[in-house]
Amino acid sequence: MKFSTFTQVVSLSSLLLGVQGISLDRNEACKPFKPFQPLPSSHPRTKTCKVEANGHGRDDSNNILKALKECNNGGKVVFDKDFYTIGTALDMTWLKHIDIEILGHVQFTNDTDYWQENGFFQTYQNATTFFELGGEDVNLYGTGILDGNGQAWYDLYVENELILRPVLVGVIGLNGGTIGPLNLRDSPEWFHFVANSSDVLFDGINIAASSTNSSVEVKNTDGWDVYRSTNIVIQNSIIQNQDDCVSFKPNSTDILVQNLYCNGSHGISVGSLGQYVGEVDIVENVYVYNISMYNAENGARIKVWPGISSELSVDLQGGGGSGYVKNITYDTFYSYNVDYAIDVTQCYGQDNLTLCNDYPSNLTISDVLFYNFSGETSTAYEPIVGTIVCSSPDVCSDINAYDINVVSPIGTNEFQCAYVNETTLAVNCTET
């Protein structure tokens, strides 16, 4: 690990746990880089409400709503009992100037029938959430655990890939807030879905997902999926999952990601984009700094669907959308046992390269920088360590790669390159 994540988490925890009665400066917590736009400070909290626990697996949702209503507009809600159970979908989009401190273990029930019928449907890629956290100036943190009880969902997914698995943390319509430090465990699907939100700091998140059934794998447990949101900071966190560590979905702008340790993921990903015909997807102004990526499919990744509908799997298919990717920087990136250190594709969801070339992506990719990469890839594609492949020279421009010092286990550092200006790539390009 190239940075002291645990030290940073403890430092921020001390800051947040003393937030009652003082003003939290989120900008001071953003280090080493500041957000694209200043984050609003948090108002003082002047009262405290404790959440009662019914115990014996009984639903504590009414107790939670009661405490939130009592301490909204200037208070702090504390989960200070050992164990809480949530069995009801909670709409918390009305919160304002409030802290939520999790000290105990908060677990969502494994009633898969209930959650499929009552989870909050988010439209994009059929995502649903256990709850919706939104409003203004909301801080969620603590030394406790949010537990998605994911094993029941992992088992069920093997039987039916089209089930609606809830996202553990739904940040929906939040303007100004801080999430973390916090421990998140075993989300049924993505750990965070951040939609229609702005000026939010995620700091000191510890994510882990695992299956207790050796024949069942954890599936689609992205760390963060950011969608239609702006000025988001994700930093100082540990992510052990399967699928994207962080993914910038359509219309994500002004995003800063720094100081992450990712293990077992699919990378820090722009996209996927262009999935839906008639929709315009934009990802612009993204800065990714100081990432340690272990045992993953990809390191830095940009994934765009081709210009015609295609299928990746039963529950993921599409293509033909439009838009652009612009001003993306990956700076200081260490990889170990990663299949591709860098992966740029405009043929996501389609193995037929002829089809992709005949129907180039409708999205353009421009002003991209990969800088200061080091480490060693897996044996999966050796001697190739990365791929930068566009579907047409008309849709890719100003893609740059410098100081790329990643090698395969046999010592090679070759890249597959196509339809891209190789003079701006300080890598060893080979034919695809």
Three-class secondary structure of residue 158 per DSSP: helix
- pLDDT at position 347: 86
Buried b or exposed e, range 160-191, using 16+ CB within 10 angstroms: eeebbbbbbbbbbbbbbbbbbbbbbbbbbbbb
pLDDT of residue 4: 34
Total number of domains constituting the chain: 1
From 43, 56, 97, 266, active-site residue = 266
d(CA 371, CA 413): 15
Catalytic residue list contains 56:
no
pTM (two decimals): 0.94
Return the pLDDT at 388: 96
> What is the reported pLDDT for 317?
79
pLDDT digits (tens, 9 = 90+) for 144-181: 999 999 999 999 999 999 999 999 999 999 999 999 99
Which pair of tokens denotes residue 365?
Answer: 């990719």
Q: What is the pLDDT of residue 311?
A: 67
What residue numbers bound the domain in which 46 lies?
5-430
- Looking at the DSSP bridge assignments, the partners of residue 84 are 106
Do residues 413 and 377 make contact, with C-beta atoms less than 8 angstroms apart?
no
Helix (H, G, I), strand (E, B) or coil at 280: strand
Q: Which residues of the chain have pLDDT under 70?
A: 1-24, 310-316, 352, 432
* pLDDT recorded at residue 406: 98
C-alpha pair distances (Å), 64 with each of 89, 175, 181, 201? 12, 22, 20, 23
Task: Work out whether strand 384-389 and strand 145-147 pair parallel, antiparallel, or are unpaired.
Answer: unpaired
DSSP string, 232-271: EEEEEEEEEEEE-SEEE-TTEEEEEEEEEEEEEE--EEEE
**pLDDT digit string, tens, across residues 127-137:** 999 999 999 99
The answer to whether residues 159 and 196 touch, using CB atoms and an 8 Å cutoff, is no
| Single-letter amino acid code for the residue at 221 | T
Question: Which pLDDT score, from 0 to 100, does residue 358 have?
Answer: 83
- 386-414 b/e with 16+ CB inside 10 Å = b? bbbbbbbeebbbebebeebebbbeeeebb
- Among residues 379, 387, 377, the alpha carbon closest in space to that of 431 is found at 387
Q: Alpha helix (H) ranges present in 277-368?
A: 353-358
For residue 26, give the CATH number of its domain: 2.160.20.10
Task: Show the tokens assigned to 100.
Answer: 């939520």
pLDDT tens for 197-244 read 999 999 999 999 999 998 999 999 999 999 999 999 999 999 999 999
Q: 327: exposed, middle or buried (C-beta count within 10 Å: 0-12, 13-18, 19+)?
A: middle
